[in-house]
């Protein structure tokens, strides 16, 4: 069951593992209350935990032997662990996005997005292979290869099409689309599985759709090189990303496959697919010659792969330790910061339509998170308002005391 949790929550879309904020999955071993979870496990004062992170902690047994990038992190103080993981997510994925945008600005490189994806998959395969050898006693494959043939293909489509889309799209536009995976998920759920969704989910999808439409229209207005091909590619990437989670979840539930096994075989199979495609198209040789003439590309590609993989591990650890709501909040703010930095660091046309279209999309993301984690969000708001009330009362008492002391001083003088 723990592997299913990790697979449902371990992605920032830059990877091929699905991120779904579902508090019912995270809390299946707790009663969800602050007192029962926090005092049973850590016996700390609530004032020491920012934003009531304790409300999202699991039993310590759920984190026993938790390893991140070959390092034991289950005995680290929870508050310190939160800041390490959150800071790591911001640093890793901001560097990841910055390097990605920088590479696609190198003259002549835009044609080789699939080659970058091949290097990325090979690096992820290498890292997960080493981590499996170091941290797992039994490395025998549990999930049949037929599942990995499908998952690997979808992973290739998800990441590869996303990378290639940057040859046609602004990086901020790509990130905004990546925030809106809920739309194809809802459409697929209705058409394929006949699911029924809540009014919050539908409202979230509507807000995201409206925001995306106006974001694309703004892009078309201010970008002289706007190409609709990029929109098609990123939509196809989103569709593959929406499908990959259901197949992974089914495979893990049936065969109890560890997370590292899924990461390893997914990227290994995906790398084989990409290598075959590049060989048949002749792009592999062309990309290799280009990179020999521009060796700095390999340095960028290694940094790209390393930061992406470590970022994935940070997301995994954050969700397992603090819950999907906290992880979704951190990754959403990270994407917002990435968009702002992209406009500040890389010069590009700007219009205020980007701002309000982005605000509508953020509203949709909030509604999506709230539909699955309403209790957690309500608890956080209650905690915040109580702290605000205590702060206000403290300031009023302090001000009253200062006025009284001033009067006494005047009488003495």
Do the domain assignments include residue 332?
Answer: yes
Which one is predicted more confidently, 51 or 361?
361
Query: Which of 11-20, 42-51, 84-93, 335-344 has the highest average model confidence (pLDDT)?
Result: 84-93
In a domain, 226, yes or no: yes
Give the per-residue pLDDT at 23.
37
Question: Mean pLDDT in the chain?
Answer: 75
pLDDT, one tens digit per residue, over 95-108 is: 998 888 888 887 77
Summarised one tens digit per residue, pLDDT across range 324-367 is 767 777 887 888 888 888 878 877 777 778 788 888 888 887 88
Residue 412 lies in a domain: no
Q: Please say whether the beta carbons of 17 and 258 come within 8 A.
A: no
Per-residue confidence (pLDDT) for residue 42, from 0 to 100: 36
DSSP 136: -
Residue 413 in any domain: the answer is: no
> Is 39 or 237 the better-scoring residue by pLDDT?
237
Domain assignment present for 164: yes
Report how far residue 248's alpha carbon sits from residue 19's, in angstroms, rounded to the nearest whole number.
11
Tokens for 348, please give them.
Answer: 């590009």
Radius of gyration (C-alpha) of the chain in whole angstroms = 24
Q: Quick one: pLDDT at residue 56?
A: 39
Q: How crowded is residue 347: how many other Cβ atoms within 10 Å of its Cβ?
A: 7
Tell me if 410 is assigned to some domain: no
pLDDT per residue as tens digits for the range 271-306: 999 999 999 998 888 888 888 888 888 889 899 999
User: What is the reported pLDDT for 268?
Assistant: 95
Strand partners, 9: 19
Q: Flag whether pLDDT at 8 surpasses 70.
A: no
The pLDDT of 388-393, averaged and rounded, is: 83
**DSSP-derived 3-state class of residue 254:** helix
How far does Cα 317 stand from its chain's mean position?
12
Whether the CB-CB separation of 216 and 173 falls below 8 Å is answered with: yes
Residue whose tokens read 């205020």: 352
**CB neighbour list of residue 286: distance below 8 Å, 6 or more residues apart:** 111, 112
The values of phi and psi at residue 27, to 5°, are -100, 25
What is the pLDDT at residue 224?
A: 57
Dihedral angle sign, alpha carbons of residues 261, 150, 28, 32 = positive
137 located within any domain: yes
Q: Is the pLDDT of residue 93 over 50?
A: yes
Read off the pLDDT of each residue in 375-386 and give the average, rounded to a whole number. Answer: 80
Nearest-angstrom CA–CA distance, 13 and 71: 24
- The pLDDT, as a whole number, for residue 64 is 41
How far is 26 from 325, CA to CA, in rounded Å? Answer: 10
| 411 found inside a domain | no
Polymer length of the chain = 413
Structure-block tokens of residue 122: 């090979």
Ranked by mean pLDDT, the top range of 11-20, 58-67, 351-360 is: 351-360
Task: Identify the pLDDT of residue 264.
Answer: 92
- Has residue 136 got a pLDDT over 50? yes
Q: Which two tokens stand for residue 189?
A: 């759920």
pLDDT of residue 223: 67
- Between residues 393 and 68, which one has the greater pLDDT? 393
- Under the phi-then-psi rule, with left for phi > 0, alpha for psi from -120 to 50, and beta for the rest, what region is 108? left
Is the CA virtual torsion 356, 359, 360, 361 positive or negative? positive
Reduced to 3 states (helix: H, G, I; strand: E, B; else coil), residue 71 is strand
| pLDDT tens sequence across 154-178 | 999 999 998 898 888 878 888 888 7
For 385, the domain range is 2-405
Residues 219-273 pLDDT 10s:
767 765 667 888 889 889 888 887 787 787 778 888 888 888 888 999 999 999 9
At residue 225, the pLDDT reads: 62
Name the pLDDT band for 413 (thresholds 50, 70, 90): very low
Residues 369, 376: Cα–Cα separation, whole Å: 10
Number of domains in the chain: 1
Question: Is-contact 314 92, C-beta < 8 A?
Answer: yes
């Amino acid at each position: 069951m723990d592997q299913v949790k990790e697979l449902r929550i371990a992605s920032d879309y830059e990877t091929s593992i699905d991120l779904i904020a579902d508090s019912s999955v995270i809390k299946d071993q707790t009663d969800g209350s602050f007192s029962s979870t926090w005092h049973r496990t850590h016996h700390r004062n609530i004032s020491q935990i920012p934003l009531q992170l304790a409300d999202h902690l699991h039993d310590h047994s759920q984190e026993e032997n938790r390893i991140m990038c070959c390092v034991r992190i289950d005995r680290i103080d929870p508050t310190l662990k939160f800041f390490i993981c959150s800071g790591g997510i911001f640093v890793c994925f901001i560097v990841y996005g910055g390097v990605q945008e920088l590479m696609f600005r190198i003259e002549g490189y835009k044609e080789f997005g699939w080659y970058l994806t091949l290097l990325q998959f090979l690096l992820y395969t290498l890292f997960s292979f080493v981590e499996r050898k170091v941290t797992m006693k039994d490395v025998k494959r549990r999930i049949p290869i037929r599942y990995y043939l499908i998952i690997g293909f979808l992973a290739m489509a998800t990441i590869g099409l996303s990378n290639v889309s940057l040859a046609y799209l602004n990086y901020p536009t790509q990130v905004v689309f990546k925030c809106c995976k809920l739309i194809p998920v809802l459409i697929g759920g209705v058409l394929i599985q006949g699911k029924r969704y809540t009014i919050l989910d539908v409202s979230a999808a509507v807000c995201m759709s409206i925001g995306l439409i106006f974001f694309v229209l703004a892009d078309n207005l201010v970008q002289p090189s706007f190409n609709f091909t990029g929109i098609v590619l990123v939509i196809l990437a989103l569709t593959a990303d929406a499908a990959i989670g259901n197949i992974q979840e089914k495979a893990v539930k049936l065969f109890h496959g560890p997370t590292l096994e899924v990461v390893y075989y997914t990227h290994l199979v995906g790398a084989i697919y990409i290598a075959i495609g590049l060989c048949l198209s002749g792009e592999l040789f062309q990309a290799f010659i280009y990179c020999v003439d521009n060796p700095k590309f390999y340095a960028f590609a290694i940094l790209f792969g390393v930061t992406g993989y470590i970022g994935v591990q940070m997301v995994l650890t954050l969700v397992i330790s603090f819950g999907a709501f906290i992880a979704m909040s951190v990754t959403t703010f990270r994407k917002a910061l990435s968009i702002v930095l992209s406009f500040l660091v890389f010069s590009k046309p700007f219009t205020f339509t980007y701002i309000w279209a982005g605000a509508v999309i953020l509203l949709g993301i909030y509604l999506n998170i709230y539909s699955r984690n309403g209790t957690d969000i309500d608890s956080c708001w209650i905690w915040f308002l109580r702290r605000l009330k205590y702060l206000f009362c403290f300031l009023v008492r302090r001000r009253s005391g200062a006025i009284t002391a001033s009067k006494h001083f005047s009488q003495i003088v």
